[in-house]
Amino acid sequence: MHLRTPNPRLVAVFALLVGAGLGGAAAAIRAALIPWQVGDFRPDASVDAAAAPRAETTETEHAFGTIGTGESGGHAFTIRNVGGGPLALTKGATSCTCTISDFEKAEGGDPAGTKTVPPGGSTVVTVRWKGKGSGPFRQQATIFTNDPRRPEIVFVVAGRVVPTWKAVPEAVVFPRLSATTGDRAEVRLFTFGAHPPADAEAVIDDPQAAQFFSLATAALPAAELADEPGATGGLLLSVGVKPGLPLGPLRHTILVSFRTPDPVAVELPVEGVVTGDLALAGAAWDSSRQILSLGTVSGKAGFRTQLFLTSRGPHRDLVRPVVREVVPGSLQVEIGESKPVGAGGVVRTPLTVVIPPGSPPANNLCSEQAPSGRIVLDTGHPDTPTLTIHVCIAIGP
């Protein structure tokens, strides 16, 4: 008998049909046996949906508009509990200039930063932020919940930071200010609020230094105001410095208050160095900061260093320094003999600064928490009768 071999194409088609039928049947069986699921969510029959908390919000993003540089803003978001169980809310992370306030103060809050909202109740979450820099901003704050359908809520505030004022230049600088002569400088102040300033008051932050400064303001001409895009008002601040400032670094702040419906406060730095016929030099003398920088020294072992006070000008031979005050109290100053240098145009007086062995601890490292120490000298010079030497020092064990 002659057997005929089956056609290979027919065999392949038959196998494909059988496989598809078996696969579809298997898929149908598997779908019937395995619970339905979408992503990571799977209904849990053990959870009574009617007894679970449910968080609901009318908005999660607020368009604030514009905020001035340095100003603060806030917006209250409402969270309601439309479920059947207590809704627990917990503070989460916030962006760098954003905070969640009034969270613990409301009913149901506690110091740990968790708030409980009963079924049918609601609460307010206030998101606050501060305008920094300029341009668009988008800040966010996260609240975690025990709602299984909504484990976290992200609130977003967006807008644009605009400058409230601008100073040109940004600081009043007197690079080489003489103790015996005056000087002047000008700064243009531009404002960007809805109401241009009608008046302004300028003062120096240090009342003792106010006698050496004269401050005056005047409205900027319209042509100069037009050169600053977006500016709605502007003032010209004139700063005059009178003779008599103490030698050394000049560090003050001019406070300018604009009297407008929207008050504006400006802090304008005043920087410089006051020079004269007297000068200091030495290994520990920081001429850029005009400070005697000693750092941390051992109170047990003690310490000493040398400064030189140089005098020039017509009154150089009158300089005979005497110590009036020292801080810290254990610091001592030994004054040597004044001698002319070279042809006699300069007189130099050695000053030996000593921390005796056994001195008590002290911290005067020139920080906000530890202000600088000082050596106050009566000089005998008619133009600079008092010289204050600022000292950065910490005395350790």
**Spatial separation of the C-alpha atoms in residues 335 and 58, rounded to whole Å:** 77
Residue 82, by phi and psi: left (phi above 0), alpha (psi -120 to 50) or beta? alpha
* Count of residues in the chain: 397
Please state, in angstroms and as integers, the Cα–Cα distance from residue 69 to each residue in 135, 236, 264, 276, following that order.
10, 21, 11, 40
Distance (Å) of CA 44 to CA 32, 39, 48, 53, 252: 17, 14, 9, 15, 68
CB atoms within 10 A of CB 244: 14
Domain end position, chosen among 162, 180, 215: 162
CA distance 160 to 69: 10
284/391 same-domain check: yes
Does 336 share its domain with 363? yes
Q: Are 294 and 305 within one domain? A: yes
Name every residue whose Cβ is closer than 8 Å to that of residue 81 and which is 6 or more positions away in sequence. 53, 54, 55, 56, 87, 117, 118, 119, 120, 121, 122
Does any domain span residue 22?
Answer: no
* Cα 255 to Cα 141: distance, rounded to the nearest angstrom: 35
Q: Are both 211 and 132 inside the same structural domain? A: no
Residue 89 vs residues 49, 82, 369: alpha-carbon distances, Å: 19, 14, 39
Q: Are residues 315 and 337 in the same domain?
A: yes
Query: Domain tally for the chain?
Result: 3
| Same domain as 365, residue 313 | yes
Are residues 214 and 154 located together in one domain of the fold?
Answer: no
pLDDT in tens, the chain (397 residues): 444 555 555 545 455 454 545 454 444 444 444 444 333 444 454 456 678 999 999 999 999 887 777 677 889 999 999 999 999 999 888 876 677 766 655 444 454 567 899 999 999 888 888 777 677 888 888 999 999 999 999 999 998 887 778 889 989 998 878 888 889 999 999 887 766 777 788 999 888 888 999 999 888 888 888 888 878 888 899 999 998 888 878 889 999 887 766 677 888 999 888 888 999 999 999 987 889 999 999 999 999 999 999 999 999 999 999 999 999 999 999 999 999 998 888 999 999 999 999 999 999 999 888 899 999 999 999 888 988 999 999 999 8
Count of other CB atoms within 10 angstroms of residue 262: 13
Residue 1 is predicted with a pLDDT of 44
Q: How many CB atoms lie within 10 A of CB 97?
A: 15
Q: Which domain holds residue 53?
A: 49-162
- Chain-centre distance of CA 304, in angstroms? 38
From 275, 308, 338, give the residue that closes a domain. Answer: 275
State the virtual CA torsion across 322, 328, 330, 334 in degrees, nearest 10: -30
DSSP 4: P
Domain assignment of residue 31, yes or no: no
Could you tell me if residue 175 is inside a domain? Answer: yes
Same domain, residue pair 240 and 309: no
Q: What is the CATH number of the domain that holds 354?
A: 2.60.40.10
Q: How many CA atoms lie within 13 A of 227 on its CB side?
A: 8
DSSP 287-336: TTTTEEEEEEEETTT-EEEEEEEEEESTTGGG---EEEEEESTT-EEEE-
pTM for the full model? 0.52
For residue 153, list its beta bridge partners. 143
